[in-house]
Amino acid sequence: MSIHTNLINAIGHFIRMDEAEQSFVSSLFVSREYQKNDYFLREGQVCREAGFIEKGLIRYHSIKDSGEDVTLDFGKENEFTCNYESFLDHSPSQRSIQCIEPTEILAISYENLQLIYSKVKEGEKFGRLICEYLYLQAIKKVSSFYGDQPEQRYLHFINSYPDLQQRIPQYYISSFVGVKPPSLSRIRKRLSM
Protein backbone atom coordinates (compact mmCIF):
# COMPACT_ATOMS: atom_id res chain seq x y z
CA MET A 1 0.00 0.00 0.00
CA SER A 2 1.60 3.27 -1.09
CA ILE A 3 1.49 6.31 1.12
CA HIS A 4 0.71 9.88 0.17
CA THR A 5 4.25 11.20 0.03
CA ASN A 6 3.56 14.93 -0.29
CA LEU A 7 1.07 14.77 2.54
CA ILE A 8 3.38 12.88 4.87
CA ASN A 9 6.19 15.28 4.08
CA ALA A 10 3.93 18.21 4.87
CA ILE A 11 2.89 16.72 8.20
CA GLY A 12 6.54 15.88 8.77
CA HIS A 13 7.26 19.60 8.91
CA PHE A 14 5.25 19.69 12.12
CA ILE A 15 5.92 16.41 13.92
CA ARG A 16 8.02 13.25 13.79
CA MET A 17 6.34 9.99 12.87
CA ASP A 18 7.69 6.49 12.58
CA GLU A 19 6.89 4.40 9.53
CA ALA A 20 3.91 2.68 11.08
CA GLU A 21 2.45 6.05 12.02
CA GLN A 22 3.07 7.39 8.54
CA SER A 23 1.16 4.50 6.99
CA PHE A 24 -1.59 4.84 9.54
CA VAL A 25 -1.97 8.57 8.96
CA SER A 26 -1.84 8.18 5.22
CA SER A 27 -4.57 5.55 5.31
CA LEU A 28 -6.96 7.98 6.98
CA PHE A 29 -7.06 10.27 3.94
CA VAL A 30 -9.09 9.71 0.80
CA SER A 31 -8.40 11.37 -2.54
CA ARG A 32 -11.03 13.60 -4.08
CA GLU A 33 -11.01 15.13 -7.55
CA TYR A 34 -12.55 18.49 -8.39
CA GLN A 35 -13.07 20.35 -11.63
CA LYS A 36 -12.75 24.08 -12.09
CA ASN A 37 -15.45 25.92 -10.13
CA ASP A 38 -16.40 22.83 -8.11
CA TYR A 39 -16.77 23.29 -4.37
CA PHE A 40 -14.84 21.52 -1.63
CA LEU A 41 -17.14 23.23 0.88
CA ARG A 42 -20.23 25.35 0.45
CA GLU A 43 -21.31 28.18 2.70
CA GLY A 44 -23.97 26.93 5.10
CA GLN A 45 -22.69 23.37 5.16
CA VAL A 46 -20.75 21.92 8.08
CA CYS A 47 -17.12 21.32 7.17
CA ARG A 48 -16.72 17.64 8.00
CA GLU A 49 -13.38 17.09 6.29
CA ALA A 50 -10.03 18.78 6.34
CA GLY A 51 -8.03 18.60 3.15
CA PHE A 52 -4.51 18.59 1.83
CA ILE A 53 -4.18 20.10 -1.65
CA GLU A 54 -2.19 17.70 -3.79
CA LYS A 55 -2.65 19.70 -6.98
CA GLY A 56 -4.63 22.75 -8.01
CA LEU A 57 -5.78 26.05 -6.63
CA ILE A 58 -8.64 27.03 -4.35
CA ARG A 59 -10.18 30.23 -3.11
CA TYR A 60 -12.00 30.89 0.14
CA HIS A 61 -14.97 33.16 -0.33
CA SER A 62 -18.25 34.22 1.15
CA ILE A 63 -21.35 36.02 -0.01
CA LYS A 64 -22.07 39.18 1.90
CA ASP A 65 -25.57 40.24 2.90
CA SER A 66 -25.48 42.63 -0.02
CA GLY A 67 -24.96 39.67 -2.33
CA GLU A 68 -21.37 40.56 -3.07
CA ASP A 69 -18.92 37.71 -3.53
CA VAL A 70 -15.82 38.31 -1.41
CA THR A 71 -12.61 36.35 -1.89
CA LEU A 72 -10.94 35.90 1.49
CA ASP A 73 -7.86 33.89 0.61
CA PHE A 74 -6.27 31.44 -1.78
CA GLY A 75 -4.74 28.02 -1.26
CA LYS A 76 -2.47 25.97 -3.47
CA GLU A 77 -0.55 22.73 -3.76
CA ASN A 78 0.89 21.29 -0.53
CA GLU A 79 -1.27 23.43 1.72
CA PHE A 80 -3.90 22.24 4.15
CA THR A 81 -7.44 23.49 3.81
CA CYS A 82 -10.76 23.52 5.60
CA ASN A 83 -13.01 25.99 7.28
CA TYR A 84 -11.41 25.48 10.64
CA GLU A 85 -14.08 27.10 12.75
CA SER A 86 -16.83 25.04 11.11
CA PHE A 87 -14.70 21.92 11.23
CA LEU A 88 -13.94 22.35 14.92
CA ASP A 89 -17.38 22.96 16.33
CA HIS A 90 -19.56 21.53 13.56
CA SER A 91 -21.20 24.87 12.95
CA PRO A 92 -22.45 25.87 9.49
CA SER A 93 -19.61 27.34 7.52
CA GLN A 94 -19.64 31.07 6.90
CA ARG A 95 -17.56 30.69 3.77
CA SER A 96 -17.09 28.44 0.81
CA ILE A 97 -14.02 26.72 -0.54
CA GLN A 98 -14.05 26.68 -4.31
CA CYS A 99 -11.56 25.11 -6.69
CA ILE A 100 -10.54 27.60 -9.35
CA GLU A 101 -8.41 25.06 -11.17
CA PRO A 102 -8.82 21.31 -11.60
CA THR A 103 -7.83 20.24 -8.10
CA GLU A 104 -6.96 17.08 -6.21
CA ILE A 105 -7.49 17.07 -2.47
CA LEU A 106 -6.62 14.42 0.11
CA ALA A 107 -9.44 14.60 2.63
CA ILE A 108 -9.66 13.45 6.23
CA SER A 109 -12.80 13.30 8.31
CA TYR A 110 -13.11 14.97 11.69
CA GLU A 111 -13.31 11.57 13.34
CA ASN A 112 -10.18 10.32 11.63
CA LEU A 113 -8.31 13.46 12.59
CA GLN A 114 -9.24 12.77 16.20
CA LEU A 115 -7.65 9.34 15.68
CA ILE A 116 -4.42 11.07 14.69
CA TYR A 117 -4.64 13.22 17.78
CA SER A 118 -5.16 10.21 20.03
CA LYS A 119 -3.21 7.38 18.37
CA VAL A 120 -0.16 9.12 16.93
CA LYS A 121 2.44 9.94 19.58
CA GLU A 122 2.76 13.59 18.58
CA GLY A 123 -0.74 13.81 17.15
CA GLU A 124 -2.04 16.28 19.67
CA LYS A 125 1.02 18.40 19.06
CA PHE A 126 0.32 18.30 15.33
CA GLY A 127 -3.17 19.65 15.97
CA ARG A 128 -1.73 22.43 18.04
CA LEU A 129 0.98 23.33 15.55
CA ILE A 130 -1.29 23.32 12.53
CA CYS A 131 -3.65 25.60 14.41
CA GLU A 132 -0.81 27.87 15.42
CA TYR A 133 0.21 28.04 11.80
CA LEU A 134 -3.28 28.95 10.66
CA TYR A 135 -3.38 31.53 13.42
CA LEU A 136 -0.22 33.19 12.24
CA GLN A 137 -1.62 33.33 8.72
CA ALA A 138 -4.78 35.00 9.97
CA ILE A 139 -2.84 37.48 12.09
CA LYS A 140 -0.70 38.46 9.16
CA LYS A 141 -3.77 39.24 7.16
CA VAL A 142 -5.28 41.33 9.93
CA SER A 143 -2.04 43.26 10.23
CA SER A 144 -1.95 43.82 6.51
CA PHE A 145 -5.45 45.20 6.48
CA TYR A 146 -4.71 47.52 9.35
CA GLY A 147 -1.41 48.74 8.15
CA ASP A 148 -1.67 48.88 4.39
CA GLN A 149 -3.53 50.78 1.73
CA PRO A 150 -5.08 48.76 -1.11
CA GLU A 151 -2.10 49.54 -3.31
CA GLN A 152 0.28 48.11 -0.72
CA ARG A 153 -1.92 45.09 -0.20
CA TYR A 154 -1.81 44.43 -3.92
CA LEU A 155 1.96 44.76 -3.99
CA HIS A 156 2.15 42.48 -1.01
CA PHE A 157 0.01 39.93 -2.80
CA ILE A 158 2.07 39.85 -5.97
CA ASN A 159 5.27 39.68 -3.97
CA SER A 160 4.01 36.89 -1.74
CA TYR A 161 2.43 34.84 -4.51
CA PRO A 162 4.28 35.72 -7.71
CA ASP A 163 3.34 32.35 -9.18
CA LEU A 164 -0.34 32.74 -8.40
CA GLN A 165 -0.80 36.05 -10.16
CA GLN A 166 -1.05 34.37 -13.55
CA ARG A 167 -3.40 31.68 -12.29
CA ILE A 168 -6.00 33.91 -10.66
CA PRO A 169 -8.50 36.20 -12.46
CA GLN A 170 -8.22 39.92 -11.72
CA TYR A 171 -11.66 40.11 -10.15
CA TYR A 172 -10.72 37.51 -7.55
CA ILE A 173 -7.51 39.39 -6.85
CA SER A 174 -9.31 42.73 -6.57
CA SER A 175 -11.81 41.19 -4.19
CA PHE A 176 -8.98 39.68 -2.18
CA VAL A 177 -7.18 43.02 -2.05
CA GLY A 178 -10.40 44.63 -0.90
CA VAL A 179 -11.26 46.88 -3.82
CA LYS A 180 -13.48 46.75 -6.90
CA PRO A 181 -12.09 45.79 -10.31
CA PRO A 182 -11.96 49.38 -11.66
CA SER A 183 -9.94 50.40 -8.65
CA LEU A 184 -7.50 47.54 -9.08
CA SER A 185 -7.08 48.61 -12.69
CA ARG A 186 -6.27 52.11 -11.54
CA ILE A 187 -3.78 50.74 -9.04
CA ARG A 188 -2.11 48.60 -11.68
CA LYS A 189 -1.95 51.60 -14.00
CA ARG A 190 -0.40 53.77 -11.30
CA LEU A 191 2.18 51.11 -10.58
CA SER A 192 3.12 50.64 -14.23
CA MET A 193 3.92 54.32 -14.75
Partner DNA sequence: TAAATTTATTAACCTGGGTGAACGAACCGG
Partner DNA sequence: CCGGTTCGTTCACCCAGGTTAATAAATTTA
Given the rule CB under 7 A, which residues bind DNA?
Answer: 149-151, 169-171, 178-189
Indicate the pairing of strand 96-99 with strand 69-76. Answer: unpaired
Residue selected from 45, 138, 169, 185 as contacting a copy of itself according to rule CB under 8 A: 138
Task: Give the separation between CA 146 and CA 74, rounded to whole angstroms.
Answer: 20
CA distances (Å), origin 51, targets 79, 103, 164: 8, 11, 20
Identity (one letter) of the amino acid at 45? Q
Q: Which is nearest to 130 in space by CA: 122, 140, 121?
A: 122
Q: Which stretch binds a copy of itself (CB under 8 A): 6-14, 34-42, 123-131, 157-165?
A: 123-131
> Could you say which of 72, 115, 158, 164 contacts a copy of itself (CB under 8 A)?
72
Nearest approach, Cβ of residue 84 and a copy of itself (Å): 6
Total chain residues near a copy of itself (CB under 8 A): 27
- Least CB distance to a copy of itself at residue 39 (A): 19
Residue 183: contacted member of DNA, a copy of itself, none (CB under 5 to 8 Å, by partner type): DNA
DSSP 93: P
CB 178 within 8 A of CB 145: yes
Chain-centroid distance of CA 73 in Å reads: 7
If contact means CB under 5 to 8 A according to the sort of partner, which of a copy of itself, DNA, none does residue 169 touch? DNA
Which amino acid, one-letter code, is at 83? N
Nearer to DNA (CB atom), residue 77 or residue 151? 151
Please state the closest distance from residue 182 (CB atom) to DNA, in A: 4
Contact between 48 and a copy of itself by CB under 8 A: the answer reads no
DSSP class per residue in 70-129 = EEEEEEETT-EE--HHHHHHTPBPSSEEEESS-EEEEEEEHHHHHHHHHHSTTHHHHHHH
By the rule CB under 8 A, 136 interacts with a copy of itself: yes
Query: For a copy of itself, which is the closer residue by CB, 143 or 165?
Result: 143
How many angstroms separate the CA atoms of 135 and 165, rounded? 24
The footprint of a copy of itself (CB under 8 A) covers 62, 64, 70, 72, 84-85, 88, 94-95, 124-125, 127-128, 131-132, 134-136, 138-139, 141-143, 145-147, 178
